Structure 1
Amino acid sequence: MSASLPSSAHPPRPLLHNSDFRLFGLARFLTGLAYQMQAVAVGWFVYDLTRSALALGLVGLASFAPAILGALVTGHVADTYDRRRIAALAYALIASSAAGLLALALSRHPPVWPVYALMVLTGGARAFANPATQALMPTLVPREQFGAAIAWNSSIWQSASVSGPALGGLLYALGPSVVFGLSAACFAVAAVAVGGIRPRPAAAGRGPVSWATLLAGLTYIRSQPVVLGAITLDLVAVLLGGATALLPIYAQEVLRVGPLGLGLLRSMPAAGGVAMAVVLAHRPLARRAGQRLLLAVAVFGVATVGFGLSTSLPLSMACLFVTGAADMVSVYVRQSLVQGETPDAMRGRVAAVNTVFIGASNELGEFESGTLAALVGAVPAVVAGGVATVLVAGLWGRLFPALRRRDRLLT
């Protein structure tokens, strides 16, 4: 392994006895909870204001645009400055954005454009927070605990993602202002928590900035066909097969289950992710990791088709549960490769590129889904995306034979 992970000559303490990892986990849980609650509330709020599928897609575009525009800068910042402070400041800005949404929700007849502006602010802050936290996590634990830390980190995030949508849908019945206010509080506490982690020196010195240093993360990924294949597979599969942006339409017009039902639907992918994370924590992908990744993406596509065709709430929830479990395999493989094999001095820049791919597969995927649904309808858009995802899994197996043949995650 080429990464520079902390190591110890003595048996490491259990992860939860590590105070820095506990603070990191608290921040991850609170931000995951707040992101998911806010996503439910913003989606329903915008749909209430506009009744437009395209308007829902624009929320994803507004969140994603800052990440792709600032990817080169945010990664360099994460490798040059204190990652704790970057994340703390970013979470504080997101708390301010949530407070702005609270003010909008309390006003009479608000226009929709300030929501997009606040989503741009949130997306810009996340563009700095994501590479900083991704690069920070491997420095918190000894090398021998790295695999367990990834599983714990994923479980924490997915647990928040399970409870967040359901809680957001439940609280939305009391009004969107309740959800936005609680989200702002969660982000503020997360800023304090991550700021309390013990300082760690910047991985790279503050040397001269050049195109070579800014592009180092992209250059590294391009030189690693297995990493490139895993990241782009996740990008294309979720970009085509993601149905998250259309859940308000399904909840309102197809399943007719209201805000609480929307929260339950949004919780299901995360519930599947948590279940799979528990399985992976106890039975890691020791062999045939590449083949299992490709199979998981194909399963994701099939489950997406099932959700698109379903008119039953239990069946729709089950299909979304399967998509979350399959996606967790992709997350586990990708994060193991990106965080475990990247040198620490480059982790921020590589993580920034990875963040763009994740954002493209989520926020930009929401824009694609909303736009396609506006043209052909929600059900055809979801079904077509699921079929395309299955085809992509087969195609990537041929385009990236090194990924298909990859046996063990970490070498």
Structure 2
Amino acid sequence: MIALRFVDLSPLIGNPGFRRLWVGTSFQTLGNQFFAFAVLYQMWEMTRSPLMTGAVGLTLALPMLVFGLWGGILADTWERRGLILLANFGAIVFALGLAAQSLAGWNSPTLLLALAAALAACTSAGQPARKAMIPALLPREKVGGGIALSHASFQAAMLGGPALAGIVAGLWGTAGCYAAQAVAFALAFHGLLALPKTPPPQTGENRIGSLMAGFHAIRRHPPLRGTLLTDLAATALAMPIALFPALNEARFDGAPETLGLFLSAIAVGGIAATVLSGGITRHPRQGAIQLGAALLWGLALASAGLVQSGWLTLACLVVAGAADTVAVMARGSIVQLSCEPEMRGRVLAAEQVAGVAAPQIGNFRAGAMAAIMPPGISLAFGGLFCVAAVIGIAVTHPRLVRLRTTIAM
């Protein structure tokens, strides 16, 4: 039985390197929430098309895939602090570019997608190095708690970021959101300057061989393969965010403030799950926990699509957010603790594809289906697709179901 314990704060105490990484990443995550809201809202205002809001996801998926994998190679071959800072600086430049195009009133979906893709490439290139630094900055028994704290900051940004972005957009338009994003990225850059240098393991492989070695490591390890497939099922099949503008229009009045509520509702559940995550991060059955949470995610999203009340939709999204948080924490623990240190960056890059690029593919799926059916039905289908896929993964990956990690206390 999983005990409900408050989130473990001990990784922040006595570990200044991790504390600096956590603070810098928290600012970066807040900026990303402003970015996600502003691009989605600006595209909807320009086109009023769920297909085009879905196209935002497809456009972001390619740079996230390519540069996320490339960033995994660099995380195992470059000095990680320098890589993180370089990627962060590029993100600041493109955030300012997005602010400029919005302020100038250039209503060009093509320009918006191009700038958004460039920014996504920068943030994706640095993400594997950020994740790979967590076990380098913490003792092994604190890694699970460090992952939970990282997800707590993500959920806090998701909770406050979209709601705040909705207010900013209502007052100063999307240009204000992009400017706030650039400020958050600059604060992250300043905080990350104090990180210690962490020379990566030297593998001696060429870059293509290095990348393939990461995929081979996942293929040879059934629990790793199963945990990433579970995340792919939950995101590529069921991600709902591209549908939020259309649902906001249908179930509320379409205002930017209520659109922010859709995005924040997922974070409300995520925060609740994170606060009570102490027992989850210490429990040894992380594989079973991830599978169960992924099933609940799919069922909650299917329910959100079928109900007609806007407030009931938000309630279902709260449940989905809690399930998503539990699944992500379990996945993170399995990946961090199941691979060799010299392979960690490349395996984490594959995890990033599952955790970041796949949701954008899922958003395109949702938007494309909503172009030919009501958005609620598209959402319900996605949730049911996820449930069916997760059941199939549990049947074909029994070692993931039985997996016992070594993070229990």
| Matched residues, number | 399
Matched, 1:240 2:237: yes
Q: Distance in 1 between matches of 2:298 and 2:85?
A: 36
Instruction: Confirm whether residue 362 of structure 1 aligns to residue 340 of structure 2.
Output: no
TM-score (norm 1): 0.92
Amino acid at match of 2:275: V
Matched with 2:90 is: 93
8 Å contact kept, 2:11–2:138: no
Instruction: Please state if 1:328 is matched with 2:325.
Output: yes
Instruction: State the Cα deviation string for residues 241-275 of structure 1 (Å, max 9, x = none).
Output: 11111101111233325111111110111221121
Partner amino acid for 2:302? Answer: V
Question: Is contact 1:276–1:328 with CA below 8 Å preserved after alignment?
Answer: yes
Specify whether residues 297 and 159 from structure 1 end up closer, same or farther in structure 2 by C-alpha distance, changes over 3 A only. Answer: same
CA drift at 1:111: 1.2
**Residue matched to 1:196:** 194
Q: Aligned partners of 1:185 and 1:286: how far apart in 2?
A: 38
**Number of the residue aligned with 1:187:** 185
CA distance in 1, matches of 2:81, 2:270: 27
Which of residues 62, 66, 70 is equivalent to 1:69? 66
- Taking structure 1 as reference, are residues 282 and 397 closer, same or farther at Cα in structure 2, changes over 3 Å only? closer
Please name the residue that 1:4 is paired with.
none
Residue 370 of structure 1 and its aligned partner are, at CA, apart by 1.1
Map residues 309-328 of structure 1 onto 2, 5 A cutoff: 309-328=306-325
Instruction: Please give the alpha-carbon distance, in whole angstroms, between the structure 1 residues aligned to 2:332 and 2:299.
Output: 24
8 Å contact 1:88–1:190 — kept in the other structure?
A: no
Q: In structure 2, what is the equivalent of residue 402 of structure 1? A: 399
* Conserved? CA contact 2:38–2:174, under 8 Å: yes
Structure 2 distance, partners of 1:176, 1:293, is 36
The residue aligned with 2:3 is: none
| Offset of residue 198 of structure 1 | 1.2
Aligned match of 2:79 in 82, 88, 94?
82
Query: In structure 2, what is the Cα distance between the partners aligned to 1:101 and 1:220?
Result: 38
Q: Structure 2 length as normaliser, TM-score?
A: 0.92
Deviates more, 1:78-87 or 1:186-195: 186-195
Q: Is the 8 A contact 2:299 2:384 kept in 1?
A: yes
| Amino acid in the other structure paired with 1:304 | L
**2: CA distance, partners of 1:261 / 1:311:** 16
* Greater Cα shift, 111-120 or 275-284: 275-284
Which of 380, 383, 407 does residue 380 from structure 2 map onto? 383
2:247 to 233, 247, 250: 250
Aligned partners of 1:157 and 1:408: how far apart in 2?
Answer: 24
Where structure 1 has 5 or more consecutive residues not aligned to the other structure, the ranges are: 1-11
Point out 4+ residue stretches in structure 1 off by more than 6 angstroms.
none
Which 5+ residue runs of structure 2 have no aligned equivalent? Answer: 1-8
Map of 1:178 onto structure 2: 176
Letter in 1 for 2:299: V
Q: Is the 8 A contact 2:296 2:323 kept in 1?
A: yes
Q: Which shifted more, 243-252 or 65-74?
A: 65-74
Shift of 1:323: 0.7
Question: Partner residue of 1:7?
Answer: none
